[in-house]
Amino acid sequence: MTDDRSTPLQKILTYATLSVVLALVLIPYGYAIVTAFKPPYEVYEVSWWPSEISFGAWRDVFAINHFHLYLWNSLIAGLGSAVLAVAIALPGAYIFARKEFPFREPFFYIIVGTLVFPFILLIVPITIVWIRIGLFDTFLGLWLAFQIFAVPYSMWILRGYFARLPRHLEEAAQVYGCTQFQAFWRVMLPMAKPVIVSVLFLAFLQGWSDFLFSNMLTTGDGPRTAAVAIYTSTAGGERVEWGPLMVMTLLAGIPPVVLYMFAQKHLARTFAGAGH
């Protein structure tokens, strides 16, 4: 531990800045939580403590808005996106990391380079194509749309990781009885667990919280996700009910946070177990 050589003034400034930043981040969340439990007549009052804890907003969200359905859709969208991203990016990243073939590097950077492209510009063309090929308003359509971002990003992370893994482990596996695929499956994959977890998490997050594609590619009768449902409940901003809105926001926002905490624990454990 290095000594803290800050002067008292520097310390005060540091903590003051941190407090401001923390406040900026936490106060809206805090207020949303508080508002979610306020009885309807109190919602428009700016108060930090409800006169009574009311679950009215919560009831409405499920009974009137049927939010549980949309949460379920978000879950499916997220899971499918995560599984597909790993299924596509994992073998791809391995090939780009280990196999030699002509134009490998330019090819790889073209794939990763697509991340630079603004996704908003893609919504209209994708929607048109999806309608034409029958993917509109389907989960498969959503999953594939999410791969546009998820696959390049996942491949980028995974290839970097695979390239840095020493070759002699796979080679040892090959000498002692594995084909190249078996060596990948039994040796590389277990070692890549932490990275795979982060890729799964990111791809899931994409599916769960995406608004852009989910809004355009689904209708009310199809797999509309929670993010879109929140938007439509306000009828485009015309009719905002703050209580239920806060509840829906919390319900949509908390699972990723919980997931992140689990993923973090696993990541930390995996790195600790690796030792050196």
Residues that bind another protein (CB under 8 A): 166, 168-169, 171-179, 182, 186-187, 190-191, 273-276
Give the other-Cβ count within 10 Å of 194's Cβ. Answer: 18
Nearest distance from C-beta of residue 101 to another protein, angstroms: 13
Nearest distance from C-beta of residue 267 to another protein, angstroms: 16
Nearest distance from C-beta of residue 94 to another protein, angstroms: 17
The CA R_g of the chain, rounded to the nearest whole Å, is 24
- In our burial notation (b when 16+ CB lie closer than 10 A, e otherwise), range 104-140 reads eeeebeebbeeeeeeeeebeeebbeebeeeebbbebe
- In our burial notation (b when 16+ CB lie closer than 10 A, e otherwise), range 233-265 reads beeeeeeebbbbbbbbbbbbeebbeebeeebee
Nearest CB to another protein, comparing residues 89 and 191 = 191
Contact 89, 155 (CB under 8 A): yes
Burial of 69 (C-beta count, 10 Å sphere; 0-12/13-18/19+): middle
| Secondary structure letter of residue 186 according to DSSP | I
Nearest CB to another protein, comparing residues 125 and 177 = 177
Nearest CB to another protein, comparing residues 134 and 190 = 190
Nearest CB to another protein, comparing residues 66 and 104 = 104
Nearest distance from C-beta of residue 31 to another protein, angstroms: 47
Which one, of 232, 229, 85, lies nearest residue 153 by Cα? 85
Nearest distance from C-beta of residue 92 to another protein, angstroms: 23
Which one, of 204, 224, 251, lies nearest residue 79 by Cα? 204
Contact 225, 77 (CB under 8 A): yes
- The tokens describing 233, both together, are 């409940």
Nearest CB to another protein, comparing residues 8 and 273 = 273
Nearest distance from C-beta of residue 98 to another protein, angstroms: 13
Nearest CB to another protein, comparing residues 43 and 187 = 187
For tokens 């990763």, name the residue. 112
Nearest distance from C-beta of residue 105 to another protein, angstroms: 14
Nearest CB to another protein, comparing residues 29 and 271 = 271
